[in-house]
Amino acid sequence: MKFLRKILVLSAFIASAGWGSASLAAEANGTVAKSLHEDAKCTKCHDSEETKPILSIYQTRHGVKADSRTPSCQSCHGASEKHLHGEANQKERISPDVVFGAKRGTSGAFAPSEAKVQNAACLTCHNTANGKRNHWEGSQHESRDVACTSCHSMHVKDDPVMKKSTQTEVCFTCHKTERAQSHRISTHPLNAGKMGCSDCHNPHGSTGPKLLVKNSVNETCYTCHAEKRGPFLWEHGPVTDDCTNCHTPHGSTNAPLLKARAPWLCQECHSGDHGKTIYSGVNLPTGNTTTVNGLQGVANQGPAAQANARACMNCHVLVHGSNHPAGAKFQR
Amino acid sequence: MNKNHNCFTTRAMVVAVQGALLAMAAMPLAYAEEHPTEVELTQPVKTLEVGVRNVSSDSFKAGEYNGLEKKGASAIVNIDARGGGSYDSEDATRWRVTGSELGLETRNLNDEYGQQGKFKINFGYDELLRNRSDTYQTPYQGTGGNNLTLPANWLAPKVPQTNAAQNAAGINFRSFDPVVGTANGLAAGVAVVPSAATLNTLAAIRTADLPAFHRVDLYTKRDKFDGGFTYDIDKQLEFKGSFSHEKKNGYKPMGTVSSQVSEFSAVIPDLIDSTTDQYNLSLGYTGEQGFLQAAYYGSIYKNNVTSMTWQDVNDLTKSATMSSAPSNQFHQLSLTGGYNINKTTKLVMNGSYARNTQNDAYLGSSTAANGQLAWGLPTPSLNGLVVTTAFNAKLTARPIKDLSLAANYKYDNRDNQTPVNTYLFQDVNEAKSGTSIFNAALGLSNLGSNTNIYANRAYSKKVNQLNLDADYAVAKGQVVKVGYDWQQIDRSCNGSWIDCADANTTKENTLRAEWRAHPTEDVSAKVGYAYSQRKVDNYNENAFLALVPMAGVAGTGAGGVSAQAALATLGLTGFGASAAQPTVAQIAAMSTAQKFYFGANGNAILAQALYGSRNNINELPGMRRYNMADRNRDKLRTSVNWQANEQLSFQGGLDFNQDDYDNSVYGLKNSKGWALNLDATYAANDSFSASIFYTFEDQRSQSAGSTYGSTSTTSNLTGATAVSGGCYATVADKNNDGKMDPCLNWSTDMRDKVDTLGVVLKQKGMMAGKLEMAEDVTFTRAHTDVGVGGGNYVANPILLATNPATATAYYYIPAAAMPTVTTDTVELKVRGKYKIDKVSAVNLMYAYQHMTSNDYIYTGMQIGTGTNYMPTMEQAPSYTVHIVGASYIYNF
């Protein structure tokens, strides 16, 4: 809560510092005026009466005209002279040079331009070294003709994909199996809005597998689960190898996010000692007993611990590694 | 943790809000909404939302991540304030303060301030509460610290036995149950009614122990403070940095074992108290022809809990200590550069170097009970170091308009340089027994035959990978993509006395093809298929020897031949000979080494004491660990999108995966799954849309194992010689093939089948443009089945002290499938927003959350179930929760 107090103070400071300037509207001149003049060619028609208000772009970073990098309408949509002035023998209005959107429903009256054409317009500016698009070319999304506007909305004051609480809705538009998995009994806090897909994935391309934000699965997982990074004295081979050997991150019927149930998941690698034991419905608390006549000693009636409760992890709990000198069996 | 439990009468409120929302939903659509003015569209609006919500009942699962785990009222506080120069001004200053759920323990607050094009700073605070369980109980006292104790009057949970040996070992948590714990016992096949003394003992145990059980909420709370800045040095050079400090606290369930011998365990509330600091710095240069970025990433994890200690439920004079996750650091430098060779060709390269260190002091012998570490430690701490180097180069080109090419090479090397040492320890709470054959070799005299002599394994992994892709537009609206992937993974352990990896090298080749079509403006389709083949050069079934360096030493009586040498000479794994019991002549022909290491019959498994281990750690021959086993993989991806008209669209997709581990006799043999996705969306206009989706996913995996026994010449059990069922008719035959009995082979067939159905409705512009609503409901039904094939032998429990030879000594009990676990989940959310005027609105919300689960693992956590693990009384997560809320929104 100390942090919260600090941040509240900071919030108050930032709000009070910026408040006075909120209503300031300096006179347009210089580059601002030039850019607005270009915009006016479009906003003359595309005004506040538009069904989908486009002027909200002025509330976004794309609307800060005092920043010389800020685009005008033409920066993205092209000069679109034919759209503005028409063409001889053409009754219907011709589309702008670049029409954004993933499909007609999102691109308005005109068919969207090719994804590569749309994306080129965005990458004119969004190609900075410190950006997140260094590995865009050849990436999974780029090579499948995903347009920037397939995910991003430009003319709204808040782009849903930039906000954790609404980002998953955007990603799940295509990633439908993951959408279903996010509703399972064991999940990451995706649907609670406390985690976004982009906490693990960089949809613009990355050096890692599956567009992960880091070089490997494990490096990505350790950004939140640093306690599992070690190195431990006693490492568990599949853990250092790849977290997804055992876990499935988008949701599982087997907590905690396991690919399969213990003890059988463990037995897919361990066949010695009591890893060799058959664990079945026989001998469960609500199942059959191990004898055919149903009568046996009290001490022998209990179901196998390895098939109940936390299964193997009733005892071998430090499966991610142990740093205890006697912890080779992940019990210390 | 301070949790407010304020309650107020909810039923009336639930009904009122539900009624209001229903009335709203029933409102006819009217599209008289006024268009916002230009000023309203372009001028940032500050929003403050204040209200109250009520949760109808407690549920940690329903409130697992949303902060609504407790019954009662909580505040709704959301804020979004932004400002700065107007868009048409010369002022590029922008600031923003956003806060969400400030009234809950999942609150989030972010600030940012900057001059666009020059600099930006931001700070944030975020809380994330993950509720694990509100039904967990424990008798341990001292929660909140790292030393847990039992009440002074605690009695060891035991059931008095007629058998003296059982009585001595006899931890039995069923003694807590007045019914099960006092059931008749059997002595030499005769039912024995518990004596009055036994019943009194059991009653005394229950009286002493059960009152100690109390509830401890298990949760993890993360409080994160972060900040960052961006500074544009000039148009080409940008400096960027961020940091975060996250504090994590709470309790998580930790299974602890006090005794290795009888393997009884207790789940304790493990204290969480740690911090993670993360730093990012990057300097980027962007030029006409390319870019260059130098970056640093640091992550420093500090655990304030070094260990957990708990008293032994069997003996209050003893305690045990477990190490907690050690503090560690990770520092990474990276350099990324991109160069546009020409307009259509680009090369991007990235290299990084990282050091991951860990050097927490080991817990000493004082924390290890019963002389567990009596021989001291080779080093006071690990001095662990993992150096990870990575390199990535990607060349993309579009030589002609319709052709795109990409070549990508990746190298990632986790080089674990942690020193390797030999550690001597007893298993947990197990006294030393016997005499190790390695005493002389190690210059010691007091190692037991059950003393572990283990070397740590510093796992390294090196990945080399090449991906080649080509996309060609074969016709208008049709693209064919083909690709080839090659991957080689080398695994090893620095400092290991022998190869530690099951597979030193795996090579995988993948061929991919994909067809994408956009035949009309309204239809698109995709079909993709990939086939991969992974091969292991030489699967090493004796990799387990890396853990036990004494396998390379000839101990006393070994005739100068080490276990490793014997295995190499005989061509055997630790499982030993896999033939049935040899003949007398064959035994006589066996080498001394074979009989020393594999018993008098020469075909036992390699005895663990002969390589310095308390447990058999060899695997079955034919066992392949699936992450490095030979594998054939098929992957199919299909999808179709159809925009039927301006309003109606459909999407469908079918995915299929199959992994076959054809060369794995044991272990995971195959896994396959398919998923069907269907979506339909109807968007009548900007004011109304409805969508429905359905997903069915079927995941299945099959594995195999063997409950192999050992061979012997024993031919009866207390005189009885017959076996009922199984592969053998007599005890003699069964025991003769104990190691190879095919009836001891088992198989599992695990299957998850999950249906997910969702409906989303959105309405805007109702009530003359004042009302907008959104409703979504999701229903999920998950079935988990585990089929088990095979079986095992069980001694006839009613054998008497003496039996005729014809009596049944063993019954073969076939395995049975596990009970089907069914989990049903319903999530319904209804939100309505009514605009009172230009500056204010009212939000009403209602949520219904429901889950039922019959997961059998919780049945096993109750009193009267498990014998050798302490009940926690945790309940399967089943809940029905109503949440209603009302809030006032003020825009200014």
In tens, the pLDDT along A232-269 reads 999 999 999 999 999 999 999 999 999 999 999 999 99
- For position B83, what pLDDT does the model report? 92
Measured between alpha carbons, how far is B329 from A280 in angstroms, rounded to an integer? 43
Residue B402 per-residue DSSP state: T
- For position B3, what pLDDT does the model report? 40
Query: Which has the closest alpha carbon to B182: B201, B162, B210?
Result: B201
* Minimal C-alpha gap between A274 and chain B (Å): 9
Q: Which of B43, B86, B281 should be substituted to probe chain A, the one whose Cβ sees the most A Cβ atoms within 10 Å?
A: B86
Measured between alpha carbons, how far is B62 from B84 in angstroms, rounded to an integer? 40
Q: Is the pLDDT of residue A24 over 60?
A: no
Query: Which has the closest alpha carbon to A135: B487, B408, B398, B241?
Result: B408
Q: Band the pLDDT of B261: cuts 50, 70, 90.
A: low
For the CA atoms of B368, B370, B376, B379, the dihedral, rounded to the nearest 10 degrees, stands at: -20
B143 falls within a domain: yes
Measure CA B234 to chain center: 46
Residue contact A276–B94, C-beta within 8 A: no
Enumerate residues 6+ apart whose C-beta is below 8 A from B86: A23, A24, A25, A26, B42, B43
Q: Which residues of A touch B675 (CB under 8 A)?
A: 177, 180
Q: How many domains does chain B have?
A: 1
Measured between alpha carbons, how far is B378 from B361 in angstroms, rounded to an integer? 12
Rounded to an integer, the average pLDDT of B55-74 is 96
Q: Band the pLDDT of A23: cuts 50, 70, 90.
A: very low
Residue contact A11–B109, C-beta within 8 A: yes
Measure CA A19 to chain center: 33
Query: Which has the closest alpha carbon to A178: A218, B642, A169?
Result: A169
With tokens 């016709």, the residue in question is B475
B146 falls within a domain: yes
Q: In this predicted model, what pLDDT tens digit does every residue of A195-233 receive, in sequence order? A: 999 999 999 999 999 999 999 999 999 999 999 999 999
Enumerate residues 6+ apart whose C-beta is below 8 A from B193: B184
Rounded to an integer, the average pLDDT of B342-369 is 91
CA quadruple B540, B544, B547, B552: dihedral sign = negative
Q: Which of B90, B94, B492, B624 should be substituted to probe chain A, the one whose Cβ sees the most A Cβ atoms within 10 Å?
A: B90
Enumerate residues 6+ apart whose C-beta is below 8 A from B268: B138, B140, B148, B253, B254, B256, B308, B310
Q: Is the pLDDT of residue A296 over 70?
A: no
- For position B22, what pLDDT does the model report? 62
Q: Quote the percentage of chain B above a pLDDT of 90.
A: 75
For the CA atoms of B131, B132, B134, B135, the dihedral, rounded to the nearest 10 degrees, stands at: 170
B203 falls within a domain: yes
Q: Band the pLDDT of B332: cuts 50, 70, 90.
A: very high
Q: Which residue is closest to A130 within chain B, CA to CA?
A: B284
Q: Is the pLDDT of residue B29 over 60?
A: no
Which tokens is B72 given?
Answer: 């009662």
Q: Can you list the positions of beta strands (E) in B766-856?
A: 771-789, 791-795, 808-814, 821-835, 840-853
ipTM for the predicted complex: 0.93
Measured between alpha carbons, how far is B886 from B14 in angstroms, rounded to an integer? 11
- For position A22, what pLDDT does the model report? 40
Number of Cβ atoms within 10 Å of the Cβ of B71: 17
With tokens 């403070």, the residue in question is B225
Domain boundaries, chain A: 49-158, 159-229
Which tokens is B622 given?
Answer: 């034919």
Rounded to an integer, the average pLDDT of B706-725 is 93
* Minimal C-alpha gap between B291 and chain A (Å): 5
Q: Is the pLDDT of residue B21 over 80?
A: no
Query: Which has the closest alpha carbon to B711: B665, B744, B667?
Result: B744
Query: Which has the closest alpha carbon to B205: B162, B153, B143?
Result: B153
B194 falls within a domain: yes
Q: Which of A207, A289, A293, A318 should be substituted to probe chain B, the one whose Cβ sees the most B Cβ atoms within 10 Å?
A: A207
Pairing of strands B108-115, B119-133: antiparallel
CB B18 within 8 A of CB B846: yes
CB B137 within 8 A of CB B858: no
Q: Is the pLDDT of residue B9 over 60?
A: no
Rounded to an integer, the average pLDDT of A277-297 is 60
- For position B787, what pLDDT does the model report? 95
- Which of the pair, B587 or B806, is modelled with greater confidence? B806
Q: What are the Cα distances from residue A104, in Å, to A51, A112, A298, B352, B646?
A: 15, 6, 72, 43, 8
With tokens 């994804």, the residue in question is A115
Q: Band the pLDDT of B2: cuts 50, 70, 90.
A: very low
Q: Which of A130, A240, A291, A301 should be substituted to probe chain B, the one whose Cβ sees the most B Cβ atoms within 10 Å?
A: A130
* Mean pLDDT score of chain B: 91
Measured between alpha carbons, how far is B109 from B112 in angstroms, rounded to an integer? 10
Residue B63 per-residue DSSP state: T
Which of A19, A138, A309 has its CB closest to that of B83? A19
3 state DSSP class of A35: helix
Measured between alpha carbons, how far is B701 from A253 in angstroms, rounded to an integer? 14
Query: Which has the closest alpha carbon to B158: B193, B189, B184, B182?
Result: B182
* Minimal C-alpha gap between A153 and chain B (Å): 15
Residue contact B382–A323, C-beta within 8 A: yes
Residue A322 per-residue DSSP state: B
Residue B66, beta-bridge partner list: none
Q: Which residues of A touch B811 (CB under 8 A)?
A: 291-292
Q: Which residues of A touch B701 (CB under 8 A)?
A: 259-260, 268
Q: Which residue is closest to A111 within chain B, CA to CA?
A: B521
- For position A308, what pLDDT does the model report? 81
> What is the Cβ-side half-sphere exposure of residue B412, based on CA atoms within 13 angstroms?
19
Q: Band the pLDDT of B4: cuts 50, 70, 90.
A: very low
CA quadruple B356, B359, B363, B365: dihedral sign = positive
Q: Band the pLDDT of B597: cuts 50, 70, 90.
A: very high
CB B299 within 8 A of CB B277: yes
Which of B87, B291, B872 has its CB closest to that of A63? B87
Measured between alpha carbons, how far is B220 from B249 in angstroms, rounded to an integer? 6
Element (H, E) at B274: strand B264-286
Q: Which residues of B touch A216 (CB under 8 A)?
A: 390, 412, 414
Rounded to an integer, the average pLDDT of B120-139 is 97
CA quadruple A124, A126, A128, A129: dihedral sign = negative
Q: Which residues of A touch B161 (CB under 8 A)?
A: 297-299
Top mean-pLDDT range of A93-107, B175-189, B368-382:
B368-382
Measure CA A23 to chain center: 36
* Minimal C-alpha gap between B620 and chain A (Å): 6
* Minimal C-alpha gap between A89 and chain B (Å): 25
3 state DSSP class of B119: strand
Element (H, E) at B697: strand B688-706
Which tokens is B635 given?
Answer: 């992957």
Measured between alpha carbons, how far is B791 from A280 in angstroms, rounded to an integer? 9
Q: Is the pLDDT of residue B815 over 80?
A: yes
What is the domain extent for residue B197? 138-214
B167 falls within a domain: yes
Q: In this predicted model, what pLDDT tens digit does every residue of A141-198 receive, in sequence order? A: 999 989 999 999 999 989 999 999 999 999 999 999 999 999 999 999 999 999 999 9
Q: In this predicted model, what pLDDT tens digit does every residue of B505-534 receive, in sequence order? A: 999 999 999 999 988 888 999 999 999 999
- For position B371, what pLDDT does the model report? 76
CB A271 within 8 A of CB B705: yes
Q: Which residues of A touch B825 (CB under 8 A)?
A: 183, 185
Query: Which has the closest alpha carbon to A265: A233, A308, A312?
Result: A312
* Chain B contact for A58 (CB, 8 A cutoff): yes
Give the 3-state secondary structure of B410-473: EEEEEEECCCCCEEEECCCCCCCCCCCCCHHHHCCCCCCCCCEEEECCCEEEEEEEEEEEEEEE
Least confident of B272-281, B308-317, B561-570, B793-802: B793-802
**Helical segments of B641-784, H only:** 731-736, 766-769
With tokens 């190692």, the residue in question is B447
* Minimal C-alpha gap between B559 and chain A (Å): 27
B204 falls within a domain: yes
Which of B350, B363, B695 has its CB closest to that of A207? B350
Q: Is the pLDDT of residue B54 over 90?
A: yes
* Chain B contact for A90 (CB, 8 A cutoff): no
Residue A269, beta-bridge partner list: none
Measured between alpha carbons, how far is B141 from B596 in angstroms, rounded to an integer? 50
- For position A120, what pLDDT does the model report? 93
Least confident of A311-320, B37-46, B118-127: B37-46
- For position B439, what pLDDT does the model report? 96
Q: Which residues of B touch A230 (CB under 8 A)?
A: 326, 328, 356, 358, 384, 386
B452 falls within a domain: no
Which tokens is B608 given?
Answer: 């663990």
Measured between alpha carbons, how far is B356 from A317 in angstroms, rounded to an integer? 24
Query: Which has the closest alpha carbon to A76: A62, A92, A66?
Result: A62
Q: Quote the percentage of chain A above a pLDDT of 70.
A: 83
Q: In this predicted model, what pLDDT tens digit does every residue of B171-226 receive, in sequence order? A: 888 889 887 777 777 777 777 777 888 888 889 999 999 999 999 999 999 999 99
Measured between alpha carbons, how far is B424 from B453 in angstroms, rounded to an integer? 5
Q: Band the pLDDT of A292: cuts 50, 70, 90.
A: very low
Q: Is the pLDDT of residue A7 over 60?
A: no
Rounded to an integer, the average pLDDT of B561-590 is 86
Amino acid at B757: L
Pairing of strands B72-84, B119-133: unpaired
Q: Which burial class, exposed, middle or buried, applies to B353 when counting CB atoms under 10 A from its CB (0-12, 13-18, 19+)?
A: middle
DSSP for A36-57 reads HHHHHHHHTTSSTT-SS--GGG
Residue contact B811–A311, C-beta within 8 A: no
* Chain B contact for A238 (CB, 8 A cutoff): yes
Q: Which residues of B touch A298 (CB under 8 A)?
A: 159, 161, 172, 174, 180-181, 183-185
* Minimal C-alpha gap between A118 and chain B (Å): 16
B198 falls within a domain: yes
